[in-house]
Amino acid sequence: MRRVLAIALATLAAPAMALAAHPYKEKNLDSGPTLDKSLIAHQRARKAQRHAARSAAPAAIPGYLAAIAACESGGNPSAIGGSGLDRGMFQMTISTWQSLGGRGDPAGAPIAEQVRRAEALYAQAGPGQWPVCGQ
């Protein structure tokens, strides 16, 4: 009988001990486990930052480049197309991006940088770099 009682108590205590070990949980005897308030605040702040980053746009995108971006990627700065070769808002290859002074992945670059590189490409080669969307 003592053994059964000890097993029952250990079974009941295990979830409470696991809960106590979790860094973002606090034990609330009335309503069960709750998330730590600092974690909730952190998650809300990160969500707000992500939303602001997605909705932020450079001060001005010239109309001709805005039309190209809308045609090429739907205006999505992290778009990847062309079997992974065409990247970013203006669907540049990495070699084109690097020839314009860009570093890293165009799809990971800030919008303002993508616009600067597209302006430079347009100035060098005109709309022909975007044979379909540059028309």
Q: Looking at the structure, tell me whether residues 67 and 108 fall in a common domain.
A: yes
The residue that leads in pLDDT, 94 or 24, is 94
**Residue 3 clears pLDDT 70, i.e. is over it:** no
Q: Is the pTM of this model over 0.75?
A: no
Confidence of residue 39 (pLDDT cuts 50, 70, 90): confident
Residue 68 shares a structural domain with residue 115:
yes
Is residue 135 assigned to a domain?
Answer: no
Q: Where are the beta strands (DSSP E) in 2-118?
A: 25-26, 34-35, 80-81, 86-87
Same domain, 101 and 124: yes
User: Mean pLDDT over residues 47-74, rounded?
Assistant: 76
- Please check whether residues 85 and 113 belong to one and the same domain: yes
For the chain, how many structural domains are there in total?
A: 2
Average of pLDDT values for 38-55? 67
Residue 1, pLDDT > 80, answer no
Q: Could you tell me if 51 and 70 lie in one domain?
A: no
The verdict on residue 107 lying in a domain is yes
Domain ranges, residue 40: 2-55
Same domain, 78 and 109: yes
Provide the 3-class DSSP secondary structure of residue 92: strand
Whether the Cβ atoms of residue 83 and residue 77 lie closer than 8 Å to each other:
no
In a domain, 134, yes or no: no
Clarify whether residues 44 and 67 are in a common domain. no
Say yes or no: 81 and 44 in one domain: no
- What percent of the chain has a predicted confidence (pLDDT) above 90? 50
At 49 the pLDDT is 67
Which pLDDT score is estimated for 37?
Answer: 73
Q: Tell me which residue has tokens 């799809």.
A: 107
Q: What CATH number corresponds to the domain at position 113?
A: 1.10.530.10
**Does residue 87 sit within a domain?**
yes
